[in-house]
Structure 1
Amino acid sequence: MLVRIVKMSFEPSKIEEFLANFETVKEKIRNFEGCQFLELYRDQNNTNIFFTYSYWSSEDDLNNYRHSELFKGVWAKTKPMFNGKPEAWSVDKLASLK
């Protein structure tokens, strides 16, 4: 399993638009083949910074999503709202406690 973390910083005036768009696409992303989990986080202090956290069955599944029409559409709407360069990490989970 691959864990994907994406950090995004938005123009403050675009946050509501981003959240509305995420609301419309989150189920499609979560139900994309290979996506097992999806969450959106917002920084408590810098409220224009958001993170997505997702689990993928494999790197191939993540890459299939990243090359899909769904991703291209989401990214085309989201990218102009940024006020900083997004950052992304693919990581391996080493420990998980509940």
Structure 2
Amino acid sequence: MLIRIVKLGFKPEHINTFTANFHKNKQAIRNFEGCEFLELYQDNQNKHVFFTYSYWRSAQHLEHYRQSDLFQQIWAATKPLFNMKPEAWSVNKLETVSV
């Protein structure tokens, strides 16, 4: 399993456009082959900063998504809205601690 964390910063006037586009596409992303989990977070202090958090069965599944028409369409609509360069990390879960 691969976890993908992406940090996205938007121009304040484009936050609603981004969130509407996310809501429009979230089921298609989540249902994409290999996607096991998807969440969207908003920074508590900087309301223009968001994070996507997703689980992928493998790096190959993530790469297949990143090469897909779906991703290309979403990225084309999202890229002009940024006010900072996006950052992304692919990480492996080492441990989960729960009560």
TM-score by length of structure 1 reads: 0.99
Task: Confirm or deny that 1:82 pairs with 2:82.
Answer: yes
Partner residue, 1:71: 71
Q: How many residue pairs are counted as aligned between the two chains?
A: 98
Q: Moved runs in structure 1, 4+ residues, more than 6 A?
A: none
Quote the RMSD (CA, aligned, Å): 0.4
One-letter code of the match for 1:43? D
Unaligned 5+ segments in structure 2 are none
Secondary structure at 1:88's aligned position in 2? strand
Secondary structure of 2:41 counterpart: strand
- Quote the Cα distance in structure 1 between the aligned partners of 2:52 and 2:97: 20
Deviation at 1:97, TM superposition (A): 2.0
Task: Report the identity percentage.
Answer: 59
Rounded to whole Å, the distance in 2 between the matches of 1:96 and 1:15 is: 32
**Cα distance in structure 2, aligned partners of 1:97 and 1:23:** 30
Gaps spanning 5+ residues in structure 1: where?
Answer: none
Query: Residues 13-70 of structure 1, C-alpha deviation per residue, up to 9 Å, x if partnerless?
Result: 0000000000000000000000000000000000000000000000000000000000
SS of 1:16's equivalent in the other structure is: helix
Q: Distance in 2 between matches of 1:31 and 1:97?
A: 27
Aligned twin of 1:56: 56
